Amino acid sequence: MSEFQETLYEGYGQRLQMDRLLHEVRSEQQHLVIFENARMGRVMALDGVIRTAEADDFIGHEMLAHVPIFAHGLARRVLIIGGDDGGILREVARHRDIESITLLGTDPAVVALCREFLPNHSAGAFDDPRLQISHEDVLQFLATTEQRFDVILGASTAGEVLSSEEFYHASRRCLNDDGILVVRTGVPFMQLGELQSAAKRMQGLFADWHFYQAAAPTCIGGALAFAWGACSVESRKLPLETLAQRFAGSGIVTRYYNPHIHVGAFALPQYVLQAIGKPSND
């Protein structure tokens, strides 16, 4: 019985027992492994970094999907960038009023592996008739498409593209008037520079920008942050009662997200606010 040792941070990390190795691909480009762990269920790691685990995948995926969709209130067209495992697609697809879901920037080989070894992540969402999958280059698609979206979601599996200035500008171009962009940006305590970079990208580009957080055990080092860029200043300031009505009306049953979590997630620690140049009362 072997162990998986994460290598994301030098001198600090997490170690998981590999109770059963399910799949492993090692090449010059990447090292992908899927294994079972008694506590975390099936785990997928890429190049020494845990990408997702069955036990806590619901936390990040629910918060990435439901916060902007419920905040928008009338989302019909959603673009997902990355998300090979299908978890974010699963959560978006639970919203009955969404008419079109576009999946962009995935690796078809990794998607196939996840459908085989992590079927609970997508829960059949890859077969949703509203889904359209594009294998076009992410920046090329965003720069040239005539489509406009109500919500754009950036998952970490899409790589460094999501941190570029070009990505933020191109995403803003593809949003409707009340559109919202949310991007996974890392763990603030360990990766504060990623938040500072995202903040610089969003300043002057969105009517309202901020970050929100959620704590997932396999995102080692503290709470996971999401960059929030909204074309409407009202989206982030909705009353709790409005969110509660939308949540109840959706009929969606969650394990992490609820309207109170939604509101509270935008309350950031002082060191994060100072790093991104935001006042504590924003």
Known binding-site residues for S-methyl-5'-thioadenosine equal: 30, 137-138
Handedness of CA 133, 68, 167, 122 (dihedral sign): negative
| Binding-site positions | 30, 61, 85, 137-138
Where are the extended beta strands (E) located within the chain? 2-5, 15-18, 20-26, 31-37, 41-46, 49-53, 77-81, 100-104, 131-134, 149-154, 175-186, 208-214, 224-230
Beta bridge partners of 2: 18
Least Cα distance to 180 among 58, 73, 86, 105 occurs for: 73
- Residue 12: C-alpha distances to residues 8, 15, 35, 58, 185 (Å): 8, 10, 22, 25, 19
Contact 88, 128 (CB under 8 A): no
279 vs 282: CA distance, rounded Å? 6
Contact 170, 142 (CB under 8 A): yes
Work out the number of other CB atoms within 10 angstroms of the CB of residue 89. 28
Work out the number of other CB atoms within 10 angstroms of the CB of residue 135. 11
| Binding-site positions for spermidine | 61, 85
Least Cα distance to 139 among 127, 154, 123 occurs for: 154
Work out the number of other CB atoms within 10 angstroms of the CB of residue 179. 25
Contact 41, 12 (CB under 8 A): no
